[in-house]
Amino acid sequence: MDSKIVNQDNNESFIDLTVLFRICLRNKLLIFALTSIATLSTIFYSLKQKPIYKGDFQIVVTKNEELNSTSNTKQLSFLLSGKENDNKTQEYILKSPLVLKPVFNIALEEYKKRGGSGQLEYERWVNNTLNIKFEEGTQVLKISFIDLEKDFIIEILNQISSRYQNYSKQIKEKELIKTLEYLSTQQKSLKEISANSLKALNSFSLKHGLGNLDGFIDPSSSNRGLNTAQIGSNVKNQAGQRYVNQFKTLEKLEAELLNYSTKLKPNSQLIKSLKLKIAKLKESLKRPREILLTYRDLTKKAIRDESLLNGIETQLGVIKLEIAKQRDPWELISEPTIAKDRVSPERKKMTLLGFISSLLISSLLSILKEKRSGKVFEQSELASLLDCQYIDTLYLNNDDINYRIIEDAIKTQNRNEKLNKINQRFNIIKFTNKDTNLFLKNCRFINFKYEAIEKNDKLIFLISPGMITINQIVLINKYI
């Protein structure tokens, strides 16, 4: 039976849901039987399934390389690592065989005791039984494990917790050792650089008589804590005694020139002699200014190199102390526990799913069953297939109305054909599964035979839903 009805106005096809509903209503016993059997089977199946439980715990995953840390060691570790591991990378690492393979081996032994084949793959075990995921927006890692036995769940979770804590300690120690190696290399290099800088400074100071009386400079003691601006003035204070007499002589000559210039004429021989001496002495003092600038640069370099060396040595001491100490593992914030509700089977969900799916399938089977039977149940389909005039719908429980409907139809037909005799006899052919008490003086019931159709001009078809097939309608149309 075709449940699509053609709309004559816009020639569009649409599904008549009322037709589908009537099909299901006609086949309610079949639908009820199939749905009941499937639902009960689902319930029985869920009751036979072994319950699966889930346990979990939470652990805080800390990172050594956080930039916001105030620790110089952690900042340096971040720079050495090159990039910050995101949570996804951490998840993949913590799921890898590198960390969890020993736990997998313990689980494999347990499965063998239960009668398993022992051929379970690691990836399949992780994907089917474990859930390792960071809580959104946090550094809290949640680890879940499912199994048939609660004690085994707790054992596996404890093993995972132990592995993660050991792994975190190893990671921290590895980062510290890596940092220690880097700092040791830098210390060796900076020692040589600092020694060369100090050697160049002392050689220059000895050559030009700068620094202490013995000519040696100790920038680490004399300039510790000074900034770049202070180094220049400090260099002047550290100048040697070599040029002190020249500056005193210059001051003395300038004082004499000022004194004599008030008493003598400018062209006097004494005034000219003093001016000549002052000019020559100033010319000789231009060279010390260049020496002092070079001395200042050498001092700054020596101070900078020794400061870097001191910083590296300080960090080395801190790293060695941290390696010597027992490293703290990742912190557990919840102990392994079993969830109250089982993971599987979800009996209510399975039952509801079984009921809905069986209802849909049985309804579909009912529709297919009617289509395969070839029987016509819908009035609209019957009227469109049968090439004769549709009179009306009869009511089996009201013969009076039925009598009037058929009598009016006969009178109308005779009147349209301009027959003189109103009592022109009609023949009724029944396609019905119920007896009718219709009594019409102008009609008689005859059996459905194609010869009877040929011999009679006036026929009325009395059809109940589902009592005539499409093939029969095709044959009737040919005779009509």
What confidence tens digit (pLDDT) does each residue in 296-321 have?
888 888 888 888 888 888 888 887 77
Structural element, H or E, at residue 463: strand 459-463
Peptide bond into 345 cis (omega under 30): yes
pLDDT tens digits for range 47-92: 888 888 999 999 888 754 443 344 444 444 444 444 445 678 888 8
The encoded tokens of residue 201 equal: 């400074």
Spatial separation of the C-alpha atoms in residues 480 and 475, rounded to whole Å: 9
The pLDDT score that the predictor gives to residue 409 is 73
d(CA 42, CA 35): 10
pLDDT of residue 154: 92
Residue 3 DSSP symbol: -
List the chain residues with pLDDT less than 70.
1-15, 63-86, 117-118, 209-245, 284-289, 323-328, 396, 399, 413-430, 433-457
Torsion of CA 112, 115, 117, 120, to 10 degrees: -60
Q: In whole angstroms, what is the distance from residue 129 CA to residue 344 CA?
A: 12
**b/e for 59-96, b at 16 or more Cβ within 10 A?**
bebebbbeeeeeeebbbbbbeeeeeeeebeebeeebbe
Which residue reads 């770049």 in tokens?
228
In the prediction, which pLDDT does 35 show?
92
Residue 302 in tokens: 């020596």
Element (H or E) spanning 130, and its range?
Answer: strand 130-134
Look up the pTM and report it. Answer: 0.48
pLDDT at 453: 64
pLDDT at res. 331? 78
Q: Which residues contact 54 (CB under 8 A, 6 or more apart)?
A: 144, 145, 146, 153, 338, 339, 342, 343
Long-range contacts of 358-362 (CB under 8 A, 24+ apart): 358/34, 358/35, 358/37, 358/38, 358/39, 358/42, 359/31, 359/35, 361/34, 361/38, 362/30, 362/31, 362/34, 362/35, 362/38
Taking a C-beta distance cutoff of 8 angstroms, is the pair 442, 423 a contact? yes
Instruction: Please give the Cα distance from 422 to 409 (Å, whole number).
Output: 11
Residues 6+ apart with CB under 8 A from 460: 391, 406, 409, 426, 427, 428, 429, 443
Nearest by Cα to 340 from 54, 129, 149: 54
User: What is the rounded CA–CA span in Å between residue 17 and residue 175?
Assistant: 70
Q: Which residue stretches of 374-434 are H helix?
A: 379-385, 399-416
